[in-house]
Amino acid sequence: MILSRRSSGILLHISSLPSPYGIGDFGSEAYHFADILANSHQKAWQILPLTPTDQGSGNSPYSSTSLMAGNTLFINPEILQKEGLLTRQNLQDNPEFKDAHVDFKEVHSFKTYLFDIAFDNFQRQSGNTSEYEQFCISNASWLDDYTLYVALKKHFKGVGWWDWSDPLRMREQTAILIATAAHTQEIEREKFLQFQFFKQWGALKKYCNLKNIRIIGDAPIYCSHDSADVWSNTSLFNLDTSGKPITVAGVPPDYFSPQGQRWGNPIYKWEEMKKDGYEWWIHRLQHDFTLYDVVRIDHFRGLIAYWEIPAKEKTAINGQWRDAPADGFLTKLTGYFTHFPVIAEDLGTITQDVKQIMNKFSLPGMKVLQFAFGDSADNPYLPHNYNQNSVVYTGTHDNNTTSGWYKNETDTDVKSSIQNYSGVKSNTKRIHNDFIRLAHSSVAGLSIIPLQDVLGLGADSRMNTPSVSKGNWEWRVLKSQLNSKNFIQLQHMTEIYGRV
């Protein structure tokens, strides 16, 4: 059981950290935040997926070209300078980035400029490259496919892999060898950047672990269609002979979404995966368990049953439920891994079969306080209905901030319900602390608070609004906000409720 001791932590993605380079990264501010966590007795730092993002997918970390590669925008230029790959002048060439949000287009342009210089200098160095070479060998099973995919995407001017030339789309061996030789420089550049990403991330994670802080990572359940994962494993996905999806993933219509949600990710061929003992999943989770101390599997219910939509449908209305081999699948995984540190994202309408699987494998689920009020006393998100093997949140990255939610999304019945339950009269200025108190005082083994709620920030600090295509994933905390005074109340409640 991964929640054997009461503890607490903060949810903050890397991109939201302060940095002079337009986006949070693995530099000094990340280490400073780890110090703040330790000093306020927090034992967990939860982040979003560290995988690559692109502007075509709205910069979402849940829609990536690879489930294995790292987001190179998180590479810190000052560390590259210390290694002799950049000069001080290079770093001073940066634009005047805004501190409060990420301008992904501007950041990508500037870091591409820096990375080109750093890679050129790396190639000129005559020193020991054994660490880099070992990285390439150890990660060849995904790195070779991913870096070739990146090179070919650039060569074909960004079109999806299913529209590449037939030999490359179908991964004919001769075509792959010729393409690899033709794009050696671009492939080596991407390998160099992945090496730097994992080297910098590994150092930061080690620092956190030495301070008794566990990193909680996030694993999207599905792959993006236009990804190295699908291109290099087409037999594991429900695709036609041209590489296009026959069916896609989503969720059915409900009260909040009359047409449901059509995500568009290709569906797994579970029977095909079963033939080799779910090797693809084992390899993926081995990678994730190295990156993180604990892994949250997003949309966990899709491992028990999933909503399958014909690819020709424009909405999710005409989908149907399909069973996944959850019992055999998780039996295989938990038998392979002696330690299986997984949190199940079980939000939304959860059926009895999902609960049974989670109980059988002792997987902790999630409780969100913003979902708890204005209903009946048996609402599963009310603290008195929790069990110890659960993780409580005031809100998630998909929710409004608690202050913003209270001000803009609650009615008088919900406000009255909160007051009756907590025994105090809440308002917009104090609701975040009231909710932190409810979360920390609950029996849940782990309490995670988004940094926006620790700071009591409003709706303009929201990280993501589902179904809204623009303006997401951009929020950043200001450097001035990361001072010890702003964490005194959190530290106080952590001590009071035995989460030290």
Q: What is the mean pLDDT of residues 444-450?
A: 98
Q: What is the mean pLDDT of residues 275-300?
A: 98
Q: What is the mean pLDDT of residues 221-249?
A: 98
Q: What is the mean pLDDT of residues 363-383?
A: 96
- ∠ CA(400), CA(409), CA(456), 5° rounding? 45
Beta bridge partners of 251: 261
| 150-185 exposure pattern, b = at least 16 Cβ within 10 A, e = fewer | bbbbeeeeeebbbebeeebbebeeebbeebeeebee
Q: What is the mean pLDDT of residues 119-125?
A: 94
Q: What is the mean pLDDT of residues 1-19?
A: 92
| Separation of alpha carbons 78 and 84, rounded Å | 10
At 255, the pLDDT band (50, 70, 90 cuts) reads confident
Q: Going by C-beta distance under 8 Å and a sequence separation of 6 or more, which residues neighbour residue 69?
A: 51, 52, 142, 143, 146, 194, 197, 228
Q: Could you identify the residue written with the tokens 């001017």?
A: 157
Residue 126 has pLDDT above 80, yes or no: no
Q: What is the mean pLDDT of residues 30-35?
A: 98
Q: What is the pLDDT of residues 34-78, one digit of tens each?
A: 999 999 999 999 999 999 999 999 999 999 999 999 999 999 999
- Could you tell me the end-to-end alpha-carbon distance of the chain, in angstroms, rounded to an integer? 18
Beta bridge partners of 474: none
Q: What is the mean pLDDT of residues 385-406?
A: 97
Handedness of CA 22, 23, 29, 31 (dihedral sign): negative
How far apart, in Å, are the Cα atoms of 394 and each of 185, 381, 456? Answer: 47, 10, 12
Tell me the two tokens of residue 29: 């501010």
Residue 406 has pLDDT above 70, yes or no: yes
Looking at residue 468, what is its pLDDT?
Answer: 85
345 as an active site residue: the answer is: yes
Catalytic member of 54, 226, 345, 453: 345
CB atoms within 10 A of CB 34: 21
Q: Which of 39, 10, 32, 34 is nearest to 500 (CA)?
A: 39
Q: Is the pTM of this model over 0.85?
A: yes
At 125, the pLDDT band (50, 70, 90 cuts) reads confident
Mean per-residue pLDDT of the chain: 96
Contact between 364 and 295 (Cβ < 8 Å)? no
Handedness of CA 410, 415, 421, 425 (dihedral sign): positive
Residue 475 has pLDDT above 90, yes or no: yes
- ∠ CA(261), CA(264), CA(270), 5° rounding? 105
Q: What is the mean pLDDT of residues 253-281?
A: 93
DSSP tag of 268: B
Tell me the residue length of the chain: 500
Q: What is the mean pLDDT of residues 188-205?
A: 98
Residue 108 has pLDDT above 70, yes or no: yes
Q: Going by C-beta distance under 8 Å and a sequence separation of 6 or more, which residues neighbour residue 306?
A: 249, 267, 321, 322, 324
| Separation of alpha carbons 17 and 287, rounded Å | 24
Q: What is the mean pLDDT of residues 88-102?
A: 93
Looking at residue 348, what is its pLDDT?
Answer: 83
Catalytic member of 218, 298, 453, 474: 298
| Separation of alpha carbons 402 and 453, rounded Å | 6
Residue 1 has pLDDT above 80, yes or no: no
How far apart, in Å, are the Cα atoms of 137 and each of 130, 190, 207, 287, 316? Answer: 10, 14, 25, 14, 42
Looking at residue 93, what is its pLDDT?
Answer: 84
Looking at residue 212, what is its pLDDT?
Answer: 97
| Separation of alpha carbons 487 and 9, rounded Å | 12
Tell me the two tokens of residue 136: 């390439």
Looking at residue 482, what is its pLDDT?
Answer: 97
Looking at residue 40, what is its pLDDT?
Answer: 98
